[in-house]
Structure 1
Amino acid sequence: MTEELAQDILTRAMSAGVTLTTAESCTGGMVAAAITDIAGSSNIFERGVVTYSNAAKVELLGVQPATLEAHGAVSEEVAAEMAEGARARAGADLAVSVSGIAGPGGSEHKPEGRVCFGLASASGTRTETVEFGALGRGKVRAAATRHALQLLLDALP
């Protein structure tokens, strides 16, 4: 399924002349890997950044320390700033970001399986949170990767 999504993204992005970038935390580059697994992806994929630590989010993507302090890394506010920072730094048309708690663990306020997504384009930024549940680390990461790819695909003309 991931390969099919990535192939569809490549086909539609090439047709529309759209470039993409990714900013990932809990998925550790899995979204970028899915896209770049497809031959020809260099035509549309600019770069992917894995910003696992808060310091990396600040240094590489321009996430504001105050946003991290106020909302935490797993928040729609941080996901928005990640996507916007990635898009601006890459000069890409479309950016997706992923930040979540793959597990094991979590807390009452931020449970395992919660993943926040950002999608930035010239028309603005939108965010969403998906509660995948305590599926286990690998399954949460795989589900988040598929969801991020679907967000990209849905945003393409």
Structure 2
Amino acid sequence: MKNEAAARVFASHYQLVICDDPTIFTEELNWRNGDFERGFAGNERFRMVGTEADLNDHWVEVRIVNDLPELDAWQRVTCVSFQCITGHVHIMSILDNEPSISLDLPNGNYAVYVAGSNLGVDQSSLGEYEKLTDTQLAHRKDVEWYQIFIVPGRPVREGRIKDE
């Protein structure tokens, strides 16, 4: 089983979607009072996690791990509970028809940690306007980018566990 993947994700409406079935979104899952402060919305099978940069164009790396790695280097970490009943996890834009990233994931409960760096920094804020290729974007750690860690078991706490 492949346990990691990476891709460009367009975070439409300033959010990344983490889900086990892209077709289950309903209006009841949308952002409500209090969701912005805690950094996420949705239910355990369809999570939306907030982003910052205006261009909404991010490199996202996903890892399924048994133990959570050290998170000190990250500017923001949002933790959500996640339940998989389809055998898959997808990372995508709320507007995508097809996920940017899909991985096999055993059915069960997980803690998902969305770690971000250089929040709010994109090419336009750096005075750059030429679209980067996927390879170029993958190597740019000076613009907003994310790593998502999927860990078996329920999280001890949800929300923004780090926000600098």
TM-score bucket (shorter structure): 0.3 to 0.5
**Greater strand percent: which structure?**
2
**Greater helix percent: which structure?**
1
Tell me which of the two structures has the higher relative contact order, counting C-alpha pairs closer than 8 angstroms and 6 or more residues apart. 2
Give the TM-score of the pair, scaled to structure 2. Answer: 0.32
Give the TM-score of the pair, scaled to structure 1. Answer: 0.33
